[in-house]
Amino acid sequence: MDSNQFELIKVGATIKVHQKIKELNAKGEPKERVQVFGGMVIARHRKISPSATFTVRKIASGVGVEKIFPVHSPSLVKIEVLKQAEVRKSKLYYLRSYKKKLREKIIKTVKKA
């Protein structure tokens, strides 16, 4: 993933991250598949650095699930930005204890590969 695509990922964006997963099949042979993780970006860390990351949070079966993705990882296939909410903070950690869903002001709907 190039650095231009990382600029599209902003805090408050609802995104889908396509990631390559390597695993073994029943015969023990290696295989690859693409797994999609969708949710809201709650944080970005080290914007320019080669070790830059972003954190995505979703609610699955009533349980909050967070995943941290390195920006320059070769396992990231594609990132789709579905919508962008207007937020006033750079880190949305308060969503962890927020009981209701965040009411989003949709600024724009973007689909980028």
Task: State which residues of the chain have pLDDT below 50.
Answer: none
pLDDT value at position 40? Answer: 93
According to DSSP, the β-strands at 13-24 and 76-85 are: antiparallel
Which token pair is 76? 């990231």
Helix residue ranges per DSSP H, 20-110: none
Helix (H, G, I), strand (E, B) or coil at 55: strand
103 belongs to a structural domain: no
**Domain span including residue 92:** 3-98
pLDDT value at position 16? Answer: 95
pLDDT value at position 62? Answer: 83
108 belongs to a structural domain: no
Number of domains in the chain: 1
pLDDT value at position 110? Answer: 57
Residue appearing with tokens 């990231």? 76
Interval 46-70: pLDDT, tens? 888 889 999 999 988 888 899 999 9
Which residues make Cβ contacts (< 8 Å) with residue 32, sequence separation at least 6? 20, 21, 22, 23
CATH number of the domain within which 57 lies: 2.30.30.790
With contact defined as beta carbons under 8 Å apart, do 93 and 43 qualify? yes
Residue appearing with tokens 């190039």? 2
What predicted TM-score, i.e. pTM, was given to this entire model? Answer: 0.80
With contact defined as beta carbons under 8 Å apart, do 34 and 21 qualify? yes
